[in-house]
């Protein structure tokens, strides 16, 4: 019996299922066809490796033309991320933290998700509250005691 008979034939690894988009929340994801990914050479330390590989990743998503955003979401993102957007409405994330292009791509997607998630959060409306009767009385009593204390410190010419 040869060694070839004892092992099953090799099959090429199955391709991972295509990712439909970058998941931002349970109900919202950014389609991959709306993301523009550019790679370039990163600067900084790394020796010869940095001079020959493109490990810096730039991820761009246009908020103005995105078809997955509702009008309310678009307005919210435009207002919240105004300082991060270009005039055309592009949200740009650049990562060159690691020497691996794949890791930088994953980091860029994670940062984009964090930015969009933070921009879509609607803060709770604060309800105005009234001070309780007891807290008002306590405040008045404290003021009265302070007044008496200061009055007692004053110099009197009773002699």
Does residue 149 belong to any structural domain of this protein? no
User: Has residue 152 been placed in a domain?
Assistant: no
pLDDT over threshold 50, residue 18: no
The mean pLDDT of the chain is 83
Residue 31, domain member (yes or no): yes
Flag whether 140 is in a domain: no
**What residues make up the domain containing 79?**
19-120
Using the 8-state DSSP alphabet, how is residue 37 labeled? E
Query: Is the Cβ–Cβ distance between 111 and 93 less than 8 Å?
Result: yes
In a domain, 157, yes or no: no
pLDDT, tens digit (0-9, with 9 covering 90-100), for 57-105:
999 999 999 888 889 999 999 999 999 999 998 999 999 888 888 888 9
Quickly list DSSP for 7-55: SPPP-PPPPPPPP-EEE-SSS-EEEGGGEEEEEEPPPSS-THHHHH---
**Which value, to the nearest 10 degrees, does the dihedral of the CA atoms of residues 113, 114, 119, 123 take?**
130
Residue 17 pLDDT class (50, 70, 90 cuts): very low
In a domain, 144, yes or no: no
**Residue 37: band (very low, low, confident or very high) from pLDDT cuts 50, 70, 90:** confident
The β-bridge partners of 31 are 21
Question: In CATH, what number is assigned to the domain containing residue 42?
Answer: 3.30.160.20
Residue 129 forms part of a structural domain? no
Tally of domains within the chain:
1
Residue 100 lies in a domain: yes
DSSP 33: G
Asked if the model's pLDDT at residue 47 lies above 70, the reply is: no
């Amino acid at each position: 019996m040869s060694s070839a008979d004892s092992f099953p034939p090799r099959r090429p690894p199955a391709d991972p299922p295509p990712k439909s988009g970058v998941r931002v929340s349970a109900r919202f994801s950014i389609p991959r066809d709306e993301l523009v990914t550019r790679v370039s050479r990163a600067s900084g330390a790394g020796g010869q490796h940095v001079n020959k590989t493109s490990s810096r990743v730039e991820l761009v998503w246009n908020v103005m033309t995105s078809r997955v955003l509702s009008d309310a979401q678009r307005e919210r993102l435009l207002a919240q991320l105004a300082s991060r957007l270009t005039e055309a409405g592009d949200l740009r994330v650049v990562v060159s933290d690691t020497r691996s292009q794949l890791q930088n791509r994953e980091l860029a997607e994670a940062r984009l998700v964090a930015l969009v998630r933070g921009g879509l959060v609607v803060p709770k409306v604060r309800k105005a509250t009234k001070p309780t009767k007891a807290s008002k009385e306590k405040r008045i009593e404290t003021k009265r005691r302070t007044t008496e204390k200061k009055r007692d410190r004053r110099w009197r010419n009773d002699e």
